Structure 1
């Protein structure tokens, strides 16, 4: 009986340890391929809009948000709510040839993208909610329609 009890205890301990390792492995976000989401800030005709202006993300997934400004004026992608709801892995500034010319780490509140420029924001959403604070903070741009909504599920 003592051998059976010891065997059962050992089996339970191994099973619990195996389950704990599976849980840790399932939570490892470093191996994910990013989901790419592209947003244009304005357009060639001077429209004050985000294209698209409704964004949806899912907690626990790695995203590469590609912000491109095809217009002739600079624009901001600004959302305090998104800044608080994500873990930022990095932000990158891309050169005209697509190469990375700068990398920013830490909390990002807004990204300014110059005419013809592109920036990437790599992040993992960690908090759900509907954020209605997406805007371009340049005077007159939000009032002109450069606003949006971000949903994190």
Structure 2
């Protein structure tokens, strides 16, 4: 069966870089001269350019699943209106995953999300950013 597949693909032209599955695409080229070594988030954002990235978002209070659905849907619409494409999946009654095809957009989305009144926290690459209206954010000040 494998040989049949090899014969089938033998005369095929190779795929363009952007048509390859993500795990076969080359890593983006980083110009270290343009990156600020004192800004680790900027470096991380640059390395996630063109890569899929999941961000966890927690809604404050004790919302029902339907309420979380509505709130996160509004947030997703706000992101789309800012030309940030994110797919949204509920994982718990008060948590959702926002999936970015271009991972570098996650930090721009985080800036929007933490400003929202019902945002408890946003987690990107295991780093938690508390919403500006959350009790933990106010404790940090």
- Shorter-normalised TM-score: what interval? 0.3 to 0.5
Question: Which protein has greater RCO, CA pairs closer than 8 Å, 6+ apart?
Answer: 1
Q: What is the TM-score with the length of structure 2 in the denominator?
A: 0.34
Q: What is the TM-score with the length of structure 1 in the denominator?
A: 0.32
- Choose between structure 1 and 2: higher helix proportion: 2
Report the structure number with the largest CA radius of gyration: 1
- Choose between structure 1 and 2: higher strand proportion: 1
